[in-house]
Structure 1
Amino acid sequence: MTTPSSFTVTKGLVTIEALDQGTGPVIVIHPSLARGANDYDIVAEFLAKAGYRVIRPQPRGIGKSNGPMDKLTIHDFAADVAMVLDHIKCGPSVIVGHAWGSMPARMLAADRPDLVRGVIMAAASAGKLPPGSTEKPFSRLRTEIDGSGDMSLPESKRLEYLQTAFFGPEGNPRLWLDGWSEATHDAQAYARMHTPVDEYFCWRECPDSGSTG
């Protein structure tokens, strides 16, 4: 078993902690809404054993990562990842964005294509609705997703939401009862609602992009 180390990078008012594991070509994993890098401990272990260096930045508000949390955009969260990659000077890397994390992953490819070899979107929203649709963007399962990390709700209700939004009938929702940051949730939700999709929906401009899930 390879044990991850960690380091922090500071620029101005922002400090980002990142977990660092393995050696080889770099794969960056950006976590889901209000979640931290440790959700991917098992995935990172497999990737490290396969010959990759896995970098997992912690979003602001989680671990040792901190900085301004008000009125952030997806550009800000992408810049946090860029700060880490600039620090380790690893060249273009594969960026994995899980669910909400797919937004800063795409934005990084748009804002800093020099850092991105390819983008993998795991369990990600398509990002855009068909022309003429009256559906609100990112509205499906919104109550369940947001409620999963709402610590003011009864545990039974949170388990119900977790089962529906993330785990399905065969999964164990108790795995995600803990590990939520409400401050990170609020900052990321604001960024999602206040960043135009076209600013990071860059399929034609971002080479080697791909989607899964």
Structure 2
Amino acid sequence: MNHLLTAGLQQWSARAALLIILHLSVSAASADEPVAHVFDIGHAQLNTLVWGDNGERETIIALPGSGGDVTRYRDIGPALAAAGYRMIAVNQRGIMGSTGSLENLTLHDYAADVVAIIDSLGIPKAHLIGWALGNRTSRVVATDFPDRVASITLIAAGGLAEPLTEPGELGELLGNAALPVAEKVRLARRTLFSDATPDSVIEEFVSTLQYWNAARASQTRANRDTPLQEWWAGGNGPMLIVQGLDDKTAPPANGIQMQAEFGDRITLVNLENAGHLMGMEQPQATAAAIIEFLHKHPVQ
């Protein structure tokens, strides 16, 4: 593919993503209808979707996984807002129109972006949710800025236990927009979803999958260049781990290891018939686990 065609596709993808955000935020009159908001943090502008946009509420800042966008939270955002929280899902640098340098970053840089959002909101603390790679950034925030974090929720948290997927399959799914739909569905089933998940859920995921390859590559480098010991503990505050028992990308052995290591800090919830994308496979159970945990750990 020549560079002009590639550039054109990237521009079209960004425009399509903006249309998705605008469509989701039209006539936002209730908790399950998000509004789009841009945070200008100086060195970057970060596009977000906000459910329950009320500054009197306790705030949740949610980060998607590797190269993922805010649509990953479309099934659990409304439930968290309905439970009384302001839920802010963040498109990190280079995703869905968010700006900022993608060069020479570590997870500490992405963590500083999160704290800049907290500063912009004028609040002392927020709850954090991190899905997949996003949970590592959340843990860096809690390590570098412990006084700004009320709690952390990790969804599909890997780190120590080796993935059970075939090498290269997940990268091909998330990095190659030209794959036929049937192949995307096959790879998604093998890497991200439980065998029990209906085909319709996987087909919907594939049909809305956007590709932010430069951002994903930057996040991958940042993760590689940030030693595990700088994020693994995630500070010393309360932490919820929600994991799918059928997760092949971040096997549930990770959560078991963390609970053994960190003891009473950890609340571990294992979901049956759920894989790496449990928030899409089991949204009600995922949201219920988060809400119960947050009620026990309010902002102090």
Q: Is TM more than 0.5 here?
A: yes
TM-score for the superposition, normalised by structure 1: 0.86
Q: Distance in 1 between matches of 2:222 and 2:165?
A: 18
Instruction: Say if 2:186 is the partner of 1:160.
Output: yes
1:61 counterpart (91, 94, 98): 94
**Same amino acid, percent of matched pairs:** 25
Larger relative contact order, structure 1 or 2 (CA cutoff 8 Å, min sep 6): 1
Aligned residue runs from structure 1 range 111-130, under 5 A: 111-125=144-158, 127-128=159-160
Q: Distance in 1 between matches of 2:166 and 2:80?
A: 31
1:181 counterpart (209, 212, 216): 212
Whichever structure has more helix as a proportion of its residues is: 2
- One-letter amino acid of the counterpart of residue 181, structure 1: W
Q: Distance in 1 between matches of 2:83 and 2:239?
A: 22
Structure 1 unaligned blocks of 5 or more: 130-136
Tell me what 1:134 maps to. none
Tell me what 2:106 maps to. 73
Could you tell me how far 1:138 is from its partner in structure 2? 6.3
Tell me what 1:33 maps to. 66
Q: How many residues align?
A: 204
- One-letter amino acid of the counterpart of residue 47, structure 2: E
Q: Deviations over 1:105-146 (max 9, x none)?
A: 101101111210111111111x236xxxxxxx6685552221
CA contact (8 A) 2:139 2:233 kept: yes
- One-letter amino acid of the counterpart of residue 128, structure 1: L
Q: Distance in 2 between matches of 1:64 and 1:112?
A: 27
Q: Distance in 1 between matches of 2:241 and 2:168?
A: 25
- One-letter amino acid of the counterpart of residue 133, structure 2: W
Could you tell me how far 1:180 is from its partner in structure 2? 2.7
CA contact (8 A) 2:173 2:184 kept: yes
Which deviates more, 139-148 or 179-188?
139-148
* Cα RMSD for the two superposed structures: 2.0
Q: Secondary structure at the match of 1:167?
A: coil
- One-letter amino acid of the counterpart of residue 214, structure 2: A
Bigger Rg over Cα: 2
Q: Decide whether aligned partners of structure 1 residues 103 and 67 sit closer, same or farther in structure 2, where only a CA change above 3 A counts.
A: same
